[in-house]
Structure 1
Amino acid sequence: MVLERPVTPNPYDLLPVVPDFTVTSSDVTDGAPLSDAQVASAGDTSPQLSWDAVEGAQSYTVTCFDPDAPTPSGFWHWVLVDLPADVTSLDAGAGADGAALPGDAFMCRNDGGSKAFMGAAPPAGDQVHRYFFVVHAVTKATLGVDSDASPAVVSFNLAFKTAGRAILHGTYAH
């Protein structure tokens, strides 16, 4: 059975406009299906990401969000906070549980309950899901949350401290 739901909008189109910058990946092609490494059943490996340095950024936050999850609030797969401003790339696997992160960076709990990257895992037979990998340039050295903050609280803080946003999205369906 395939669930029929309206296509959800790009959630970042609903936020206040901020300057954009570029994020690239050797693992994710914008708009294309994710590789097996980024799927929960096959790897749970966060992708390699690189981005432009943003003038005025004092830190970066990296998130992965699925707005197509069958919930009113979507599903957060990854929340990495307080990356130092001189960091402009992450190796594949940087989102692993217990991974060594630069500076005072840390991961908050995803919607699956772990403080790590959780790969794509839409319900079988569901529509194609989009996975938004977003790098947020932050105007403060610290976002002002701790690792127990929910993704919603992180997002709320980002609404007031974002100097720019870079977006790359992959897709996945069973």
Structure 2
Amino acid sequence: MNLLRHALSIALPIAQLVASPLAQAADFVVESPDIREGDTIDARFVSNGFGCKGGNRSPALAWHNPPAGTRSFAVTVHDPDAAGGKGWWHWVVVNIPVKAAFLDSGASSVAKAFPPGAVQTRNDFGRAGYAGPCPPVGTTHRYEFTVWALKVDKLKVDGNAGGALAAFMLRDQVIGQARITANYGR
């Protein structure tokens, strides 16, 4: 028993040293009354264009237990199955103040719904704001609704930045992520 205790006393500090910041953020959670992990996305949140006839409404998202050191948040919606495996950015919101803990349903289309300072960048459709799912006919894609906990107060991007640029900058500043992955096909 003493040998086991000794081994654990050495192994635990080493494991703590090599654990990534994302691993330490295991308690960080995102929830939504509008979308559920693994479920099909409701028509209210699907694009209204490109052959799709949805409501194009951004879903409500709420997050809890961000990792220590969080100074701001970002929210993204990404389709990893689109564009030949490179993915497609449907929504990117950056510079959400650390005191914020949710975005209401439909927030993307109501400027006053965002916390002061938050910025929607351009999605891969070329416009700022939310653009719902609309995969090619005969396919089902995954959509990752992610809240990013960041170690900076603000990213140096504005509403003209594209989703890929904003995501590149997010990856450099992230200390935790919480995600819901849902599906949509037609």
TM-score after normalising by structure 1: 0.85
Q: What does the per-residue CA deviation read over 1:44-75, in whole Å, with 9 as the maximum and x for residues that have no partner?
A: 11111111142311110000000111434211
Counting only pairs closer than 5 Å after superposition, residues 81-160 of structure 1 correspond to structure 2 as 81-96=94-109, 98=111, 100-126=113-139, 128-160=140-172
Q: Which runs of 5+ in 1 are unaligned?
A: 1-15
Q: Is the 8 A contact 1:97 1:116 kept in 2?
A: no
Following TM superposition, where does structure 1 have runs of at least 4 consecutive aligned residues deviating by more than 6 angstroms?
none
Q: Is the 8 A contact 2:73 2:96 kept in 1?
A: yes
Counting only pairs closer than 5 Å after superposition, residues 42-57 of structure 1 correspond to structure 2 as 42-54=54-66, 55-57=68-70
Write the letter of the residue equivalent to 1:73.
K
TM-score after normalising by structure 2: 0.80
Aligned-pair identity (%):
36
Distance in 2 separating the partners of 1:130 and 1:17: 25
2:39 to 19, 32, 43: 32
Partner of 1:167: 179
Q: Which runs of 5+ in 2 are unaligned?
A: 1-19, 48-52
Which protein is bigger by CA-based radius of gyration?
2
With 55-64 and 90-99 compared, the bigger mean Cα shift is at 90-99
Tell me how many residue pairs correspond in the alignment. Answer: 158
Q: Is the 8 A contact 1:53 1:88 kept in 2?
A: no
Distance in 2 separating the partners of 1:50 and 1:98: 18
Q: What does the per-residue CA deviation read over 1:24-48, in whole Å, with 9 as the maximum and x for residues that have no partner?
A: 0000010100011111121111111
Distance in 2 separating the partners of 1:84 and 1:30: 26
Task: Give secondary structure in 2 for the equivalent of 1:71.
Answer: helix
**CA-based RMSD:** 1.6
